[in-house]
Amino acid sequence: MHVEQLGPERCDALLAFFGSLPEGDLTFIKEEVTDPDTVRSWATTSAPGGRWVAVEGDEVTGYVAVRPLSGWSDHVGEVRLVVSPASRGTGLGRTLARHALTEAVSSGLSKLVVEIVAEQGAALALFTELGFSGEALLRDHIRDRNGELRDLMVLAHHVDETWAGMDTVGIAEELEASAN
């Protein structure tokens, strides 16, 4: 398995990946990930931030993006992470999240946020280990595909405040390696 920047050659595999996700997973993805035009546009536009895929053979097993906010929040990037059900619990999510974090910090973002449905305990643990902390709890903020309301947690990683902690999880070395 390796992580690479999303390019046009991986769009069909990424569409197949999103198409194979359980219906419940699609509820919590903001973008129209099953729309071919949307996914193909990601690989052909030079928008700020980045999109990466985890690839095993010809198959995409995970996706992560950092989407910088605009205007007065242009120092903030939103992390979006999706891992195939078969790859959950293998460390792939951690690998992708660390990759996104190092790329975001290298590009000059000073704060990252991630939105997690409150019941997603594994995702909460993953991002907490990477230095993210709770910033907001939005009660009944999401309506799932069954019409049930869910709480949304917003976690934030303040780069300057957590830099010392990044040494602990080995991200500082990754940043230095990517800068060289």
Residue boundaries of the structural domains of the chain: 2-179
Burial class (CB in 10 A: 0-12, 13-18, 19+), 142: middle
Dist. CA 77–CA 171, nearest whole Å:
17
SS3 155: strand
Q: Determine how β-strand 149-158 pairs with β-strand 133-143.
A: antiparallel
Which pTM value belongs to this model?
0.85
Query: Per-residue pLDDT for the chain (180 aa), expressed as one digit of tens each?
Result: 899 999 999 999 999 999 999 887 887 788 889 899 999 998 877 666 899 999 999 999 999 999 999 999 999 999 999 999 999 999 999 999 999 998 888 888 999 999 999 888 899 999 999 999 999 999 999 888 788 999 999 999 998 776 545 554 565 566 555 555
Q: Among residues 59, 57, 4, 62, which one has the least CA distance to residue 33?
A: 62
Q: What is the CATH number of domain 2-179?
A: 3.40.630.30
